[in-house]
């Protein structure tokens, strides 16, 4: 080989190696998140705790509530787990929250017994398929919740495949912090079992996606291969991670939980922290993640409602306070997520372990005709219409606007293709007067509550807001 040829090939190889190194070292926030299905980009998501949703606690009964969800502007329904629950009565294998509930119900929706069967408490496989079919007919997408980190002590797989589980030094099955047997994802056979389960659920129920419980505790490469497998069955499925792993959305996931944001929001409302911590939280999450990564923003969910038992958010934040928080999550980037009952300002006790039989932990639908419930339903509907009526809210970026009252006020533009829409919110109970920096007063508002502009100064009433 000629020296010149050798040098040319060596230089080319060096260039390739250099490019690979450069790509490997590229900061995460400079990389781009996966392209997600349009239906999840535009989503208004709604979580259903099946036991709390209706007195019957069945999927068939929930099907009758679809018109209300349609009126609220919901587009995506996601169920807490519907699969067979472990009914082991030994409380040493109950989660701390399950024991604390004092409801005495051994069946925890997040403590699986059989991953391939619908729990009879919720109905039949035919009931679930009928729900999905009807939801699709009415224009909804439907997602299931998957609990793959652990199962119950009497689960089918504990008996048929004891080799699937992590072991302690003494040979006993390792338990997660919820006291549940933990699967060993270093074993290919465990991974293959769960890949097959996801494919089975898509084929059997025509489900549109999955919310993955404690997704961050399971190796990312498992979820990446799951994405490849599921895409072959149904390419536009959504993968929604309960977790905050920063690189999730490069390939595997379309959406992550907004734990830090919800924590900051609760700090503002429950601990009287300044509103500006919400801006700081959003800026930090955006700076850490790939460009275009999506966060699910929520006020309540099945975990929070458990912990808040008798002091639900509409009680302690007031209806107006919850409205302001809803206005925020619907106008920020990401995906707004409602928890069942929130659309009618429900304040009943909810619990994963409660039902009509256990503690009567069910949405009080008798309140639907009341002024409070109707006001909330119409407000959520207006927010949904606002969000889905302009792509700036689902695809635009956030550009923060400085204001003179950051302890109380959040102000930002949503920006897309050279257009800007101003959003201003008072996150506090006390009225506030302030000015905005380099933000002309809007001529009119798309949505407004208690906002006034006079001589360049803004005034927002208690929990007031305005969307240009």
Q: Is position 19 within any domain? A: no
Q: If DSSP codes are grouped into helix, strand and coil, which group holds residue 417?
A: coil
Structural domain including 442 reads: 409-467
Q: Mean pLDDT, to the nearest integer, of 318-332?
A: 98
**Closest among 307, 242, 243 to 98, alpha carbons compared:** 307
pLDDT at 310: 83
Q: What are the C-alpha distances in Å from 72 to residues 45, 80, 133, 460?
A: 11, 20, 20, 26
Same domain, 326 and 442: no
Q: Mean pLDDT, to the nearest integer, of 168-175?
A: 97
Please tell me which residue, 6 or 339, carries the higher pLDDT value: 339
Check which CATH number belongs to the domain holding 415 and give it. 2.60.40.1180
Same domain, 414 and 389: no
Residue that finishes a domain, picked among 344, 362, 395: 395
Q: How far apart are CA 256 and CA 294, in angstroms?
A: 6
Q: Is position 403 within any domain? A: no
Confidence label for 13 from pLDDT (cuts 50, 70 and 90): very low
Beta bridge partners of 415: 397, 420
The secondary structure element, H or E, covering residue 224 is helix 220-233
Same domain, 378 and 414: no
pLDDT at 324: 98
**Residue-averaged pLDDT of the chain:** 94
Q: Is position 13 within any domain? A: no
Question: E strands, 182-233, where?
Answer: 209-212
- Predicted TM-score (pTM) of the model is 0.93
Check which CATH number belongs to the domain holding 359 and give it. 3.20.20.80
Residue that finishes a domain, picked among 395, 424, 459: 395
Q: How long a stretch of residues is the chain? A: 468
Question: Which residues are CB-contacts of 229 (< 8 A; sequence separation ≥ 6)?
Answer: 195, 198, 199
Please state the φ and ψ torsions of residue 301, each to the nearest 5 degrees.
-160, -175
Same domain, 247 and 380: yes
Q: How far apart are CA 418 and CA 427, in angstroms?
A: 28
Q: Is position 16 within any domain? A: no
Q: What are the pLDDT digits (tens) for 20-49?
A: 444 456 899 999 999 999 999 999 999 999
pLDDT at 23: 46
pLDDT at 306: 87
Identify whether the C-beta of residue 310 lies closer than 8 Å to the C-beta of residue 301. no
Please state the domain count of the chain: 2
Q: What are the pLDDT digits (tens) for 214-238?
A: 999 999 999 999 999 999 999 999 9
Same domain, 423 and 322: no
Same domain, 313 and 448: no
Q: Is position 3 within any domain? A: no
pLDDT at 21: 43
Token couple for 203: 């084929």
Q: What are the pLDDT digits (tens) for 364-376?
A: 999 999 999 999 9
| pLDDT exceeds cutoff 50 at 468 | yes
């Amino acid at each position: 080989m000629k020296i010149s040829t050798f040098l040319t090939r060596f230089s080319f190889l060096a260039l390739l190696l250099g490019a690979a190194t450069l790509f490997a070292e590229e900061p995460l926030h400079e990389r781009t998140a996966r392209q997600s299905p349009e239906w999840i980009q535009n989503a208004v998501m709604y979580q259903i705790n099946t036991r709390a949703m209706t007195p019957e606690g069945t999927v068939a009964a929930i099907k009758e509530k679809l018109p209300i969800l349609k009126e609220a502007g919901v587009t995506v329904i996601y169920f807490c787990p519907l699969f067979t629950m472990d009914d082991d009565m030994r409380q040493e294998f109950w989660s701390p929250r399950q024991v604390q509930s004092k409801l005495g119900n051994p069946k925890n929706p997040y403590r699986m017994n059989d991953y391939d069967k619908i729990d009879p408490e919720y109905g039949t496989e035919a009931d679930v398929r009928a729900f999905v079919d009807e939801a699709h007919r009415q224009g909804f997408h439907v997602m299931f919740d998957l609990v793959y980190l652990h199962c119950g002590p009497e689960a089918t797989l504990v008996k048929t495949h004891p080799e699937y589980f992590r072991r302690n030094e003494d040979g006993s099955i390792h338990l997660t912090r919820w006291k549940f047997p933990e699967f060993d994802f270093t074993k290919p056979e465990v991974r293959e079992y769960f890949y097959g389960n996801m494919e089975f659920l898509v084929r059997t129920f025509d489900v549109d996606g999955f919310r993955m419980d404690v997704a961050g505790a399971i190796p990312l490469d498992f979820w990446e291969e799951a994405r490849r497998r599921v895409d072959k069955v149904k390419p536009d499925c959504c993968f929604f991670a309960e977790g905050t792993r920063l690189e999730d959305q490069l390939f595997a996931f379309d959406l992550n939980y907004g734990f830090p944001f919800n924590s900051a929001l609760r700090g503002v409302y429950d601990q009287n922290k300044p509103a500006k911590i919400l801006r700081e939280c959003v800026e930090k999450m955006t700076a850490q993640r790939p460009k275009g990564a999506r966060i699910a923003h929520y006020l309540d969910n099945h975990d929070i409602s458990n912990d808040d038992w008798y002091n639900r958010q509409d009680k302690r934040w007031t209806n107006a306070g919850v409205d302001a928080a809803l206005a925020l999550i619907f106008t920020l980037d990401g995906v707004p997520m409602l928890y069942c009952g929130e659309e009618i300002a429900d304040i009943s006790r909810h619990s994963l372990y409660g039902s009509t039989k256990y503690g009567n932990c069910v949405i009080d639908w008798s309140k639907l005709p009341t002024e409070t419930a109707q006001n909330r339903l119409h407000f959520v509907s207006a927010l949904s219409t606002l969000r889905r009526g302009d792509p700036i809210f689902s695809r635009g970026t956030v550009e923060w606007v400085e204001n003179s009252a950051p302890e109380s006020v959040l102000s930002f533009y949503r920006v897309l293709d050279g257009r800007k829409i101003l959003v201003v919110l008072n996150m506090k109970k006390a009225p506030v007067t302030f000015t905005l920096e380099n933000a002309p007063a809007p001529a009119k508002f798309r949505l407004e509550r208690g906002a006034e502009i006079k001589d360049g100064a803004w005034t927002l009433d208690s929990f007031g807001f305005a969307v240009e």
